[in-house]
């Protein structure tokens, strides 16, 4: 006799009680996603699939949920030995649920896994100061064996065609348009879309070559630091995509791009760079920078979409909604960053005379892109031990603005800039760089370190500069320059930025920033990304 099916609240009540489990744990912790409920006991994790249908994911029938559980077990055992234990049925007699057979019917299934300790997840390990880059070597070996052991299969390779790939990319771009004004600005949406469409329309030959080379494989599909576990010199990679083959039958670089983007998003460009330098030469013979960046844009935008959707779920707490909004905005910023600058380590030096708008432009760029902004005036005053936001006392001016202090300021600026590039991959240096020898040092240092140097020199008419200096009288600013001390000749440049930058741009800051910034970013996007 068929019974009325249990509601999600009844599943939650059942899974949340310690007596429901054969091992009788001391406590149970429940975690919900849009498609699953995970119960964490002392020793195990039980993952139940909700009866939902999102189009790309359909668990609406018992047969579909059972099949998905069996696939999850099979697929994840490829990369996580000993973690996935079994698929166990859940029974229902019309009033109660049980893992043991009772008079009634099977209404669901749970994937039973060995519980992993939080300290072993890569997402947590990389936060520790003593994390060693060499720990990524185990992951390199694991993934290389995984990709290289697969034989080309026609049904898998077919998903690499430009036609099929473009469906996934364009569906994602269409979703992004729905969040314009919510988690992504319209102009950022346009730039990201333009970059992805440009690749799809002009690099079909490359995509077809990837098929010929057998690079389209049965991958993981959700390769992130949250899904990688290190234990006793063993790497376990779990929670792959089991519910939709089109998300898993992908280019191996699409798979790797997710992890690289994830590491960079979390502020670990150094780890991502090390990992890429180790694994890419083992898997690829050709230069794949352009293709990898294409997939990074896609992956960052996917995470932007996921978090935007989560932020719109009315049943979640306001705090979680706000966190999801901020995450979505940040992911879309990363998609924009990859679209205009790729992954190459980069220093953007914004220079110009006083009150030409270099600091305002630097701050705005750092807000629109995930870039740290280093200001020479702030560094100077910090080194001198004076209040950064108070005008330097007259008697202190000779010391604070001495040649020795200027040398120390620029040394510190470059030191912090290089450290930031190593950690985060990119930085903005906000300073006048009036002396040619200072620019020569910056140029030589970036060349030696294989860092791309973009120079943006701000300009403004004399009357605008004077008006801005006059307005500072009523403000607290880090700059000490005021109208009474301003001398135009003191900010004359004896060199041209074209001599030193990989890209040199002159920026008239009288134009509204909301108009100027998108144009500036499009100029960034035109630079050679290799």
Q: Which of 109, 113, 114 is nearest to 48 (CA)?
A: 109
Which residue bears the tokens 């099916």?
A: 5
Q: Is the pLDDT of residue 84 over 80?
A: yes
The secondary structure of residue 180, as a DSSP letter, is: B
For 151-165, how does the pLDDT look when each residue is reduced to its tens digit (9 = 90+)? 999 999 999 999 999
pTM for this entry? 0.91
pLDDT, tens digit, for every residue of 440-483?
Answer: 999 999 999 999 999 999 998 889 888 888 887 767 777 766 66
pLDDT at 480: 63
Measured CA to CA, the distance from residue 247 to residue 218 in angstroms comes to 9
Q: Out of 51-55, 298-302, 379-383, 421-425, which region has the weakest mean confidence (pLDDT)? A: 51-55
Torsional sign, CA 69, 71, 74, 75: negative
231 — pLDDT class (breaks 50, 70, 90): very high
Read out DSSP for 92-133? E-SS-EESS--SSEEEEEEEEEEPPPGGGBHHHHTTSTT--G
Distance CA 443, CA 454 (A): 10
């Amino acid at each position: 006799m068929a019974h009325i099916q249990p509601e999600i609240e009844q599943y939650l009540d059942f899974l949340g009680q310690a007596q429901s489990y054969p091992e009788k744990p001391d406590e149970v912790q429940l975690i919900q996603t849009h498609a699953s409920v995970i119960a964490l006991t002392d020793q195990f994790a039980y993952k139940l699939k909700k009866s939902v249908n999102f189009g790309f994911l359909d668990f609406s029938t018992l047969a579909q949920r059972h099949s998905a559980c069996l696939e999850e077990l099979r697929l994840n055992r490829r990369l996580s030995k000993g973690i996935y234990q079994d698929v166990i049925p859940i029974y229902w007699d019309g009033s109660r649920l049980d893992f043991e057979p009772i008079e009634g019917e099977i209404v669901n299934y749970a994937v039973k896994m060995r519980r992993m300790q939080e300290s072993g997840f890569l997402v947590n390990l990389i936060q520790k100061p003593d994390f060693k880059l060499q720990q990524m070597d185990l992951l390199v070996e694991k993934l290389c064996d995984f990709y290289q052991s697969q034989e080309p299969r026609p049904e898998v390779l077919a998903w690499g065609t430009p036609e099929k790939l473009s469906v996934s990319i364009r569906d994602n771009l269409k979703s992004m348009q729905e969040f314009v004004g919510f988690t992504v600005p319209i102009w950022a949406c346009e730039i990201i879309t333009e970059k992805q469409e440009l690749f799809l329309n002009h690099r079909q030959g490359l995509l077809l070559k990837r098929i010929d080379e057998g690079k389209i494989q049965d991958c993981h599909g959700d390769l992130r630091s949250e899904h990688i576990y290190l234990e006793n010199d063993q790497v376990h990679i779990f929670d792959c995509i089991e519910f939709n083959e089109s998300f898993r039958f992908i280019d191996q670089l699409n798979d790797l791009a997710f992890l690289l983007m994830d590491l960079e998003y979390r502020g670990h460009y150094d780890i991502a760079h090390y990992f890429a330098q180790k694994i890419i030469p083992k898997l690829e013979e050709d230069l794949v920078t352009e293709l990898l960046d294409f997939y990074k844009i896609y992956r960052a935008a996917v995470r932007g979409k996921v978090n935007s959707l989560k932020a719109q779920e009315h049943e979640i707490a306001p705090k979680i909604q706000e966190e999801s909004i901020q995450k979505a905005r940040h992911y879309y910023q990363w998609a924009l960053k990859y679209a205009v600058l790729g992954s190459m380590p980069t220093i953007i030096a914004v220079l110009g005379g006083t009150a030409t708008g270099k600091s305002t432009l630097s701050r705005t760029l750092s807000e629109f892109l995930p870039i740290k902004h280093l200001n020479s005036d702030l560094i100077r005053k910090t080194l001198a031990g004076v209040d950064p936001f108070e005008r330097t006392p007259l008697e202190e001016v000779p010391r604070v603005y001495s040649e020795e202090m200027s040398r120390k300021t620029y040394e510190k600026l470059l030191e912090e800039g290089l450290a930031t590039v190593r950690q985060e991959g990119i930085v903005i240096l906000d300073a006048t760089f009036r002396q040619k020898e200072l620019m020569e040092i910056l140029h030589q240092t970036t060349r030696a370190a294989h860092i791309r140097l973009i120079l943006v020199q701000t300009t403004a008419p004399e009357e605008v500069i004077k008006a801005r200096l006059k307005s500072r009288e009523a403000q607290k600013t880090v700059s000490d320059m005021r109208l009474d001390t301003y001398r135009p000749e003191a900010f004359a440049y004896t060199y041209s930025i074209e001599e030193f930058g990989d890209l040199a741009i002159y920026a008239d800051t009288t134009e509204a920033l909301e108009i100027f910034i998108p144009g500036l970013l499009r100029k960034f996007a035109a630079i050679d990304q290799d």
